[in-house]
Chains A and B, each alone.
Chain A
Amino acid sequence: MTRTVTSTRTFVPAPGRAPLGRMLAAQTAMEVRLTLRRGESLLLTLVIPVLLLVGVSQTSVVRLPGGDRVAFLAPGVLALAVMSTAFTGQAISTGFERSYGVLKRLGASALSRRDLLVAKTLAVLAVIVLQVAVIAVVALLLGWRPAVGGLPAALGLLLLGAASFSGLALLMAGTLRAEATLAGANLVYLLMLAVGGVMFALPPGIGRTLEFLPVNALVDGLRSVLEHGGTGPARVWVVLAVWAVGSIAAAARWFRWE
């Protein structure tokens, strides 16, 4: 083997891992950009919640309890928005990343798997902040006057809800085929839209049987603290905490990277 190669010393090894902050920032920014670039995910995360908020509050197509339509709808739409990003969007994108080998490729990069999950969580939170800001502004313009005293509890409930939905999303994406995750995550979204008490009050009997679902608990909790202030019923905190711990533990146990 006699080869003459003119080397410019370009590839002389100089390995090393970048500072963690830089890696997390780059990965999080990538995840956020990709989410906002996908038309269908933008539809799910922003367009549908805002349309529901405006459409249902400004018409009388759907009969709502109480006189203040926006006060009833805004908490439901916020819960829906969190679910769309943390559950539906994350399950679908993670499922496809898994099937396209993106997770596998990142597994051989200097970004550890734990840091990848941290970046995914940060990206979900960043999108949720954007959603909450847009929905809150639209609701305020429509005359929403939430109880200021309930805002800290609302924030806590949103975070706990996001954690539950993320755990469920990763559990689904990490165990099912990408196509099954796509179908399943959309189906669950539609079902929760129907039975989650987002747009209309459930009949009391049905409401009580479904109050253990994370969407219903989040909607009930947000409605309570944003209308009346305080910290809301203990039940919703317990339900959300159980879902968060259970789903994250299950995802950690069964998630498969390939």
Chain B
Amino acid sequence: MDSPAVEVTDLVQRYGRTTAVDGATFSLPRGQVLALLGPNGAGKTTTVEICEGYRRPDAGTVRVLGLDPVADHDDLTPRIGVMLQSGGVYPGARAAEALSLVASFAARPLDTAMLTERLGLGGVARTPYRRLSGGEKQRLSLAMALVGRPELVFLDEPTAGMDPQARRATWDLVSELRADGVSVLLTTHFLDEAEHLADHVVILDSGRVVAAGSPAELTAAGADEQLRFTATPGLPLGELLHALPEGLVASEPRQGEYLIGGRMTPEVLAGVTAWCATHGALVGDLRIGRRTLEDVFLDLTGRELRP
């Protein structure tokens, strides 16, 4: 039980001339949630599919529950649950049938009726897979990953195509899995999803790990807190800094929008509002905030849209 749920070391995978994964290293401790976060084409799915044993990496090692996902494939499959990014179900099979089939492969499966209700699939239990909506297909696929009571689940973009309610329900489910001791490796390009669910976030870009850590570590690292406010344009900022504690910076990035950077204390806030009052400037939209995971992500992976 001491080996991590997933341990990826210096993983490299090439497809012809393109390098899909370029030296990725990360580890998922048992019973925790790790999110692989990155833009399309970052190598998330390739990484997960190597962990699932679908392909042998060109270089590096992958251990899943202490086993080799390719060589020990048959020992591993009963212990993991897999949700592919899309498809994977007979188009003509009814939702309940598809779930029962996977349940029959497990020694002690979950009650399929309970799981069907839990994932809001009760109303479509007899509907063929091909006629389910995108979100219903995702939920069925999630149910199929969980029904065998696995130790570790791989969820490749679990909430893609879900409406906001289903997405929230899926988040609750992942949190419950974690509380029950299931290890979860998921991929997502939703920042709020990673921030909300994961103990560990690994940000991939062009196959490389560009940042890794807990959401709190990632958002705190290298990023001072900021105070933003609006007021009359052209206030004398040098004079403002004299009125505030040492070690702060001030700027006016757009006319009438001010930014104070540095360590935020109640004195800073009181100082800013008092100084503005002496200049007859009415302060609006005042906000003290930390960098969000979105800021971190965009700083690291660039702000241009990718093809």
Contacts and interface: CB of A to CB of B under 8 A. Distances in A.
Interface of A: 1, 3, 5, 7-18, 22-23, 25-27, 30, 33-34, 37-38, 96-97, 100-102, 104-105, 107-112, 258
A102 B90 contact: yes
B80 interface: yes
B91 A3 contact: no
Contacts of A1: 199, 214-216
Nearest to B216: A1
B52 interface: yes
B31 to A, nearest CB: 9
B53 to A, nearest CB: 7
Contacts of B148: 15, 110
A23 to B, nearest CB: 5
Interface string B108-132: 1110001000000000000000000
A85 to B, nearest CB: 17
B52 A108 contact: yes
Contact of B102 (A104, A109, A258): A109
B108 A16 contact: yes
Select the residue from B52, B106, B178 with max chain A CB neighbours within 10 A: B106
B215 A15 contact: no
Interface string B169-184: 0001001111111100
A97 B90 CA distance: 7
B281 to A, nearest CB: 38
Nearest to A258: B54
A8 B176 CA distance: 8
Main secondary structure of the interface of A (DSSP, over half): loop
Contact of A11 (B87, B177, B199): B177
Contacts of B97: 30, 33
Contacts of B90: 30, 34, 97, 100, 102
Interface residues of B, number: 49
Contacts of A112: 74, 77
A105 B107 contact: no
B80 A108 contact: yes
A229 B181 CA distance: 66
Given A18-B106, A108-B52, A101 B91 contact: no
Contacts of A3: 175
A13 B151 contact: yes
Contacts of A27: 101
A22 B176 CA distance: 30
23 contacts: A5-B176, A12-B149, A13-B150, A15-B78, A16-B108, A17-B77, A17-B78, A18-B105, A30-B93, A30-B101, A33-B97, A34-B90, A97-B90, A101-B86, A101-B88, A104-B88, A105-B84, A105-B88, A105-B89, A107-B54, A109-B102, A110-B105, A110-B148
B176 A10 contact: yes
Contacts of A14: 107-108, 149
A23 B101 CA distance: 8
Nearest to B110: A10
Nearest to A33: B97
A1 to B, nearest CB: 7
